Chains A and B, each alone.
Chain A
Amino acid sequence: MSAKNVTTSSFQEDVLSSDKPVVVDFWAEWCGPCRMVSPILDEIAAEHSDKITIVKVNVDEEPGLAQQYGITSIPAMYVFQNAEVSKVIIGAKPKPALLEDLKSYIA
């Protein structure tokens, strides 16, 4: 996975202070669909790097962050813009569906 791994201590800088929208991909090693979606998100990030950033939060390593954002199902992709949650995408989806969900950020 090539997206940056974000922790509680780096969340402010990596996510909240970002000037671009940030898609936070909540995942876990034991979550099969998460592992399928991650490379797709990496592709989208590479293709639209001028518009958005994609980062990852491992819920096993960062349970505090998972709880803070009320995660009860993964994969969960939270789009942060200007330090706030702007959109939530729950569940693994194919690339065309994710591009559609992120359309307003990458247009």
Chain B
Amino acid sequence: MREVIIIGSGPAGFTAGIYTARAGLNPLLIASSVEPGGELMKTTEVENYPGFPAGLQGPELMAAFQEQAERFGTEVLLDDVIEVSLKGDVKVVKTGGGETFEAKTIILATGAAYRELGLPKEKEFSGYGVSWCATCDGFFFREKTIAVIGGGDSAMEEAIFLTRFASKVYLIHRRDSFKASKIMQERALNNPKIEVIWNTEVAELLGETRLTGIKMRNTVNGSEKDLELDGLFIAIGNDPRVWLVENQVELTPEKFIKVEGRSSKTSIPGVFAAGDVIDPTYRQAITAAGSGCVAALDAEHYLQDVN
């Protein structure tokens, strides 16, 4: 039986790995078989992570996190957790690769996944003109006309990134102002290839076997207009990945894992949570890393009490 199993491999998971490893707890970190590294794997320049004045690439930063966690003995397993049993003194974790692990404590750091628009044909067109990852798919839209939906930093970043390939990028937002940071807003608004369409949402995805455009709806007066597009990138936020545990730990009304105050303690003793899966508000790499440390320390104190 292990002292601690960490589920998740973003900044929260690896920081928890660093701290629990250094506490001599021999953590097992289950990282995902095809998507380890969390949200930063899909970004390019990370300029706001403290300690890196020159900035660095998202994947580079995550490689450094992993290296540091492994340096102190974190065992990283590239597999997917498909089932957990959290109540009682023995927590059980099952993976898609067919393994079963037992542990005294679990740290849930599963993060959040991209939000969909929730429109018909959205899933069908995924990979056929609809994407949630500019760095992944932008390459295929050279000299094309595309749109990015969203108003936060991610949407700004995606739109700016896509101007490297596309000939035209529409930035479509349902309100009349962005909530992105000032610096990112300015970069997007000053980019000659980006045209902002305010007060607009996507009413419909158009096309037969692949996306050919969208029907836009004005959120102020309800008027509709079609827009021909080769690609649509959706950047409207992320939903916490709670499906593994939602019937076991208590969730907040917004469906994040509920933790006690500023700790990482969930409603089940011995189970801790960190990162975007608990945080609807801040969702930064640095806040996730901070909460991963909190979870590691909470797990360590819990183990000292039970052992």
Q: How many residues of A contact B (CB 8 A)?
A: 23
Least distance between B8 CB and chain A CB atoms (Å): 15
Least distance between A65 CB and chain B CB atoms (Å): 13
Cα A36 to Cα B59 in complex, Å, equals 13
Asked if A94 contacts B96 (CB within 8 A), the reply is yes
Asked if A91 contacts B126 (CB within 8 A), the reply is yes
Q: How many residues of B contact A (CB 8 A)?
A: 24
In the assembled complex, A73 has its CB within 8 A of some CB on chain B: yes
Least distance between A40 CB and chain B CB atoms (Å): 7
Interface of chain B, main secondary structure: loop
In the assembled complex, B302 has its CB within 8 A of some CB on chain A: no
Asked if B140 contacts A94 (CB within 8 A), the reply is no
Chain A residue with the shortest CB-CB distance to B230: A72
B137: which of A32, A40, A73 is its contact (CB, 8 Å)?
A73
Contact partners of A46 in chain B: CB under 8 A: none
Cα A73 to Cα B126 in complex, Å, equals 9
Least distance between B100 CB and chain A CB atoms (Å): 15
Residues facing A in B78-102 (CB within 8 A) are 78-80, 96-97
Cα A74 to Cα B34 in complex, Å, equals 13
Query: C-beta contact mask, A2-45 vs B, less than 8 Å → 1, else 0?
Result: 00000000000000000000000000101111001100100000
Asked if B34 contacts A73 (CB within 8 A), the reply is no
Asked if B34 contacts A33 (CB within 8 A), the reply is yes
Asked if B137 contacts A36 (CB within 8 A), the reply is no
Cα A95 to Cα B131 in complex, Å, equals 23
Chain B residue with the shortest CB-CB distance to A88: B127
Contact partners of A91 in chain B: CB under 8 A: 126-127
Q: Apart from A36-B35, A72-B231, A90-B127, list 7 A-B contacts with CB within 8 A.
A: A59-B139, A70-B210, A72-B137, A90-B126, A93-B34, A94-B96, A95-B97
